[in-house]
Amino acid sequence: MSNILFDPLFGRHANSTAPFLLLEGARRIDYCDFVALSAQLANVFADLGLVKGDRVALQVAKTPEALAVYAACLRSGLVLLPLNTAYTTSELDYFLSDAEPRLVICDAADADAMTGILNGAELHTLNADGSGSLSAAAAAMPTTHDVVDCAEGDLAAILYTSGTTGRSKGAMLSHANLLSNATALADLWQFTDGDVLLHALPIFHTHGLFVAVNVSALSGAAMLFHPTFNAEKLLADLPRATTLMGVPTFYTRLLSEASFTREATAHMRLFVSGSAPLLADTHTAFEARTGHRILERYGMTETNMNASNPYMGERRPGTVGFPLPGVEIRITDPTTGAALAQGETGMIEVRGPNVFGGYWRMPEKTAEELRETGFFITGDLGQIDPDGYLMIVGRQKDLIISGGYNIYPKEIEVLLDAVPGVRESAVFGVPHADFGEATIGVVVPEAGCALDPAALLSEITPHLARFKHPRRIEIVADLPRNTMGKVQKNVLRKTYTPAT
């Protein structure tokens, strides 16, 4: 049997005693042990009757066992549906109804709530300490498993994204999408089996799972596997690491630590940042403190990584570098789709083996955003400077990126608008030194109604993951509009952006 993605990532390490995961308390999981665990989990899936193409939803804490679920899905030909641990039951209900997984895996503390939205799926538990019904079932299974034959176009995962309006969209990522991206990045960033990646990202996100893990496994590198970001613990592990992948928040918080010095980073060779824009001030301060220049790259759920600043060469602040090998990036007129000249600002479009195959069960939406020529319309506005560096200058859609997570204003506006006494609302992002952007809500009350911002927040936050909570809500008489009646969020951003 041949599995286009599992074999080069994990299968070839079946007999390797090299370290893969390094954990707190000097605990170590070698590659061979990890592959054996993935086989045991795959045997559990087979025993449940899951077959190639079935979906497996995973909403659990970051653990070695959770990561092994990913490997087990790959070797079984199953489609992983990784879900943010902050999602509420009402948010999960949509994802499970849409993707129709055959198996849902959650923390035991969430099992009762999850039972009501399973829609016929099997349920297993996996806790933050590695215990749970799934681990118990796996322990009784053989450590060998016949890998399922998977070709390049077979689905490996569905990751949900969204626009500023409408339903969330499930981006379908194939084995070839993920393998091509990992191969390009491992080569570009010069990863080897001598590297040790400091991994503090979540594994329900493209950055932490498909970039960090896939690049490491493909290279035979080890990972210092941190369950969450903790600046003090990261600093303690820096002497054992060679690389770190993070979001801008990681770097601003490390810079706030007095012990984060040039000496502390002497063993490191590479710091990578993505998932949100890195402020030029952070870039400059980091270099002054450590002597290292952060390497910023550009990616998204539908495409994984598209561009990167060079490993060798100038890493230019305010840019995301050049297209990855095999990837084409063009700038087009957002209205006509015509290609624009270098230096002009327009829509960023991407084509390459990394680009997803479309949105799950949304052919119309797929046709809107994925051209017949293979170019994906990203929704980001950018330009290519005279030296070929790509700069992202804004977003056509009103997407907010805070701490590396996507926040879609419409979802919050719908909740605000449903509160009695609210006439209308607008939600937008403003620059934030730590998180990249902070979410602000502006609300217009109905005539004669007095609204309390704190009460509004209390009303909507139980229905939103914590990272989506607005930082504040302002009460205003009217929203600014253009001659067509459209709310001018650019005016709101300017009004509420903190003075520098």
Q: How many angstroms separate the CA atoms of 242 and 99, rounded?
A: 38
Q: Count the residues in the chain.
A: 500
What tokens were used for 184? 């390009």
Q: Strands, E, within 251-311: which ranges?
A: 270-273, 295-300, 304-308
Task: Say if residue 404's pLDDT is above 50.
Answer: yes
Find which of 315-319, 402-406, 480-484 is predicted with most confidence, using mean pLDDT: 315-319
Task: Say if residue 492's pLDDT is above 70.
Answer: yes
Q: Which residues pair with residue 150 across a beta bridge?
A: 3
Contact 408, 91 (CB under 8 A): no
What tokens were used for 365? 């939406």
State the amino acid at position 184 in one-letter form.
A
Q: How many angstroms separate the CA atoms of 208 and 293, rounded?
A: 21
Task: Say if residue 348's pLDDT is above 90.
Answer: yes
DSSP letters for 352-392: STTS---BTT-HHHHHHHB-TTS-EEEEEEEEE-TTS-EEE
> What pLDDT sits at residue 267?
95
Residue 29 backbone phi and psi in degrees, to 5: -120, 115
> What pLDDT sits at residue 59?
98
What tokens were used for 33? 């042990």
Closest by CA to 412, choosing from 445, 455, 459, is: 459
Side-chain-side CA neighbours of residue 35 (13 Å):
23
Q: Rounded mean pLDDT of the chain?
A: 93
Please report where in the chains the tokens 């770097």 appear, as a residue: 251
> What pLDDT sits at residue 485?
52
Q: What is the mean pLDDT of residues 208-228?
A: 97
> What pLDDT sits at residue 500?
60
Q: How many angstroms separate the CA atoms of 462 and 405, rounded?
A: 18
Which residues are CB-neighbours of 454 under 8 A, at least 6 positions away? none
Q: For the whole prediction, is pTM greater than 0.75? A: yes
Q: What is the mean pLDDT of residues 134-155?
A: 98
Pairing of strands 422-432, 436-445: antiparallel
Residue 248 backbone phi and psi in degrees, to 5: -50, -35
Q: How many angstroms separate the CA atoms of 80 and 101, rounded?
A: 9
Model pLDDT for residues 17-37, shown as the tens digit of each residue: 999 999 988 899 999 999 999
Please report where in the chains the tokens 């990202």 appear, as a residue: 201
Please report where in the chains the tokens 């400091």 appear, as a residue: 198
Query: 75-95 in b/e burial notation, b at 16+ Cβ within 10 A?
Result: bbbbbbbbbbbbbeeebbeeb
Give the three-state DSSP class for 106: strand
Q: Delineate the domains of the chain, giving CATH numbers in brackets.
A: 400-496 (3.30.300.30)
> What pLDDT sits at residue 58?
98
